[in-house]
Chain A
């Protein structure tokens, strides 16, 4: 069982917006602004999409955005495109004893 809870799947049509939630606790997501999000296409390595809650690495589309409220972080993808279909994982710092925790992953289907 993953430390962070994500929905198993979400879907949307091209052009629409979707949001993936990532629920933790006051020991991880709620205590640190250190949530990152990763996109993983089948058979490929994860790719960093969002870090420190809402920052985008160079080269990542501004259609991807991140936010946090309390113990829940969210990834929003606007203007859905077929290439966005992938698995998405959230990750958070969880303090010095546990260090890093991942979510169980969410499969995004573009209808």
Chain B
């Protein structure tokens, strides 16, 4: 079955850029699915960041759109997140997830284990 694994620096300096990668195994990133990033600040709820299709099409959360870039690398079967101009408010556990989406469908399954990114000097 499909499994996802996040990786990237656990500490980012304020005003810097957060960069994470999600490796997909057990299936092709070029399947008919979207691939999403979701974050969760410590002790708080979930926030959808955005998604990408293997063609490169993207959709972003309007509240983060100006700072977010999601890209895909089909040769490595992975997709990536970049969040610029970070502040302490961007400290969170970042999850990647398969985004099963269609005209009459929307669900996130499965999820990666998550990776904590702390923004601090």
Residues of chain A touching chain B, judged by Cβ–Cβ distance below 8 Å, are: 2, 32-34, 36, 38, 44-48, 51-52, 57, 89, 91, 93, 97-105
Q: Which residue of B lies closest to A52 (CB)?
A: B105
Once the chains bind, are B95 and A46 in contact (CB under 8 Å)?
Answer: yes
- Quick one: which of A32, A33, A45, A52 has the most chain B CB within 10 A? A45
Q: Contact at A102–B45, with CB atoms within 8 Å? A: yes
Of A47, A99, A100, A103, which contacts B111 at CB under 8 A? A47
- Size bracket of the B interface: 20 to 34
Whether B47 sits at the interface, judged by CB under 8 Å, is yes
What is the interface of chain B, defined by CB distance below 8 A to chain A? Answer: 36, 38, 45-48, 51, 59, 61-62, 95, 104-114
Is the Cβ of A105 less than 8 Å from the Cβ of B105? no
A-B pairs with beta carbons under 8 Å apart, 11 shown: A32-B106, A36-B106, A38-B108, A45-B111, A45-B112, A45-B114, A51-B105, A89-B46, A91-B46, A93-B106, A97-B62
Residue among B48, B51, B110 making CB contact with A101, cutoff 8 Å: B48
Q: Are A104 and B45 in contact (CB under 8 A)?
A: yes
**A45 and B95 in contact, given A38-B108, A99-B59 (Cβ under 8 angstroms):** yes
Q: Is the CB of B45 within 8 A of A91?
A: no
Instruction: Find chain B residues with CB under 8 A from A89 CB.
Output: 45-46
Q: A45 contacts B106, CB within 8 Å?
A: no
